Copies of this chain bind each other. A is one copy, B any other.
Amino acid sequence: MASRGKATILDIASKAGVSKSTVSLVLQGSALIRPETASRVRKAIEEVGYVYNRGAANLRKAHSNVVGMVINDLTNPFFAELAVGMERVFQSAGIVPFIANTAESPVRQGEVLKSLLEQGVAGLIVSPAHGTSPDAFEHIRSAGIPVIFTMRRLSGSRIPVVVPDNPRGAFLATRHLISKGHRRIAFLGGFPDMVVYHERVGGYREALAAHGIVADETLVIQGDTNRKGGMSAIDTALAFSPAPTAAVCFNDAVAFGAMTGLRKRGLEPGSDFAIVGFDDVAEAQHYMPALTSVAVDTAGLGERAAHTMLNMIRAGTTDAESHIGAISLIVRDSCGPDITEARRTA
């Protein structure tokens, strides 16, 4: 049946024999109205199947209850895990996160952002698409809407950031390979126009330097930060002579790709070539061989970002402390045993 026009606060007011103001108060759980009246109103609400019109409310209220999560690649399970961590926090604060995917396209990102803004979001948590210009966000921020970057940052931007300790992570990963006896170690994936890339490559170089190994710049191989990028990067790496015996990968996706690439050439990851990943996605521990990776506490970062956002919203500010999350190296099987002196120089 469902009458075409949806029920409004007015309908339920007349049904309950009170004024619209009273209904509004009940909806907001105000202590002002008499419990008895309140329950009568609630009953009426139930009966007509009323649904609250948040758009109308936001017209009067200062801010909405939705924050946007703008994510550059939803098919990377890493971001899904991040989203899940955030949702937990937001849920209990009564605010609803809407997730939008930009598929790594700045254009798409612009559209998505526009929509979210039109919808009147209270804040934005963003992992910016590759190639984003920083202005876009400064603009939003200076309009008074809190923005947090997560996992990626834009150079020169003053927007608060929640990221893992990338340099340290890459340092630990590299040091691990060195301690296993490797000397020719490649770095696979990523592009120099991402800040994260410099952070991770920086940690890698630092570790090499700290152990007196001269970095061979040809072993730093750029590429897409997904499986495919990993497969082609490992091909490039193995073409050098002498070839590297190990690689630190930009992230786990690249690492999985690199491992597949090794197998294609008849090399077994772990025993023939050591691989370390970054992110420690759920899949890492189930892979064959299980992937040694830098764990970034994804869900924790998500929660942290969500909390920070909550505080910004409550305080009505667009400023916040950035957070650099602790990382840890999870050693599994993909680096194999220590290599012998013979192989090292082979």
| Chain A residues close to B by CB (< 8 Å) | 1-2, 4, 6, 49, 51-56, 58-59, 64-66, 74-75, 77, 80-81, 83-84, 87, 91, 96-101, 103, 108, 111-112, 114-115, 117-120, 139, 142-144, 227, 256-257, 260, 263, 282-283, 286, 288
Identify A83's interface contact among B74, B115, B143, B283, CB under 8 A: B74
Q: Please, how many angstroms separate the alpha-carbon atoms of A2 and B51 in the complex? A: 34
Identify A51's interface contact among B52, B54, B101, B118, CB under 8 A: B118
Contact yes or no, B77 A75, CB < 8 A: yes
Contact yes or no, B108 A91, CB < 8 A: yes
Cβ–Cβ < 8 Å partners of A1 in chain B? 142
Contact yes or no, A83 B101, CB < 8 A: yes
Residue of B nearest to A283 (CB): B283
Cβ–Cβ < 8 Å partners of A144 in chain B? 2, 4, 6
Contact yes or no, A96 B80, CB < 8 A: no
**How many Å from the CB of A147 to the closest CB on chain B?**
13
Residue of B nearest to A286 (CB): B260
Cβ–Cβ < 8 Å partners of A227 in chain B? 282, 286
Contact yes or no, B120 A54, CB < 8 A: yes
* Pairs A–B under 8 Å by Cβ, sample size 26: A2-B144, A6-B144, A49-B139, A51-B143, A54-B55, A55-B58, A55-B59, A55-B119, A56-B59, A59-B59, A75-B81, A84-B101, A84-B103, A87-B101, A87-B103, A96-B100, A96-B111, A96-B112, A96-B115, A98-B100, A227-B282, A227-B286, A256-B286, A260-B286, A260-B288, A263-B288
Contact yes or no, A53 B103, CB < 8 A: no
Q: Please, how many angstroms separate the alpha-carbon atoms of A80 and B87 in the complex? A: 17
Cβ–Cβ < 8 Å partners of A139 in chain B? 49
**How many Å from the CB of A204 to the closest CB on chain B?**
25
Q: Please, how many angstroms separate the alpha-carbon atoms of A314 and B51 in the complex? A: 22
Cβ–Cβ < 8 Å partners of A98 in chain B? 98-100
**How many Å from the CB of A210 to the closest CB on chain B?**
34
Q: Please, how many angstroms separate the alpha-carbon atoms of A6 and B120 in the complex? A: 11
Residue of B nearest to A142 (CB): B2
**How many Å from the CB of A49 to the closest CB on chain B?**
7
Q: Please, how many angstroms separate the alpha-carbon atoms of A143 and B282 in the complex? A: 40
Residue of B nearest to A56 (CB): B59
Given contacts A6-B144, A96-B100, A98-B99, 11 further A-B contacts (CB under 8 A): A2-B144, A49-B139, A49-B143, A55-B58, A55-B59, A65-B115, A74-B83, A75-B81, A75-B282, A84-B101, A96-B112
Contact yes or no, A54 B282, CB < 8 A: no
